[in-house]
Amino acid sequence: DVKVTQSSRYLVKRTGEKVFLECVQDMDHENMFWYRQDPGLGLRLIYFSYDVKMKEKGDIPEGYSVSREKKERFSLILESASTNQTSMYLCASSGRQGSYEQYFGPGTRLTVT
C-alpha cells in the first residue's frame, strides 16, 4: 500500500515563526501536493511538484513556499506564520502514468496563536 506520512499531527506555533511541514511518500511517486482544508471550502491547492526541484503554484500560494530536494520528500514552509494560516494541511502524492488518484497523508492540524 502507498504510504504518505506527515511529520506532525498537531502543531502550535506563534505568529511570525517560521514553520516547516514535512511530507514523505514511499511509492516513488513523481507528483506531490500540498493542500489546506478549511470548513466549507473543501481542499485548496497550495503548491505541487512534478519532479525533484520542480514546483508550481496552486490556487493559494501566498504566504507559503515549498522545497523538494528528494523525490520522496516535499516540504511546506510558512515563512512567517500568521493566524489566518491556522488550518488543516494535507499532503498527497500520485504517479505520473495512467491513473491520477492521489494518496493522502493523515494531515497536520496547525494552530497559529
Partner 1 sequence: AQSVTQPDIHITVSEGASLELRCNYSYGATPYLFWYVQSPGQGLQLLLKYFSGDTLVQGIKGFEAEFKRSQSSFNLRKPSVHWSDAAEYFCAVGSYNQGGKLIFGQGTELSVKP
Say how far apart CA 27 and CA 101 lie, in whole Å. 13
**Does 100 participate in binding partner 1 (rule CB under 8 A)?**
yes
Distance (Å, whole) CA 11 – CA 76: 14
Number of residues near partner 1 (by CB under 8 A) = 27
Residue 16 binds to partner 1 (criterion: CB under 8 A): no
Contact between 85 and partner 1 per CB under 8 A: no
Does 40 engage in binding with partner 1 (CB under 8 A)? yes
Contact pattern from residue 41 through residue 70 relative to partner 1, giving x for each residue in contact according to CB under 8 A and a dash for the rest: xxx-x--x-x-------x------------
Look at the chain and count its residues.
Answer: 113
Exposure class string for 35-48: b at 16+ Cβ within 10 A, else e: bbeeeeeebebbbb
3-class SS at 47?
Answer: strand
Binding of partner 1 by 101 (CB under 8 A) = yes
Distance (Å, rounded) from C-alpha 77 to C-alpha 104?
A: 18
Q: Cβ 25 to partner 1, closest distance in Å? A: 12
Summarize as ranges the residues that interact with partner 1 (CB under 8 A).
Answer: 4, 30-31, 33, 35, 40-43, 45, 48, 50, 58, 90, 92, 94, 96, 99-107, 109
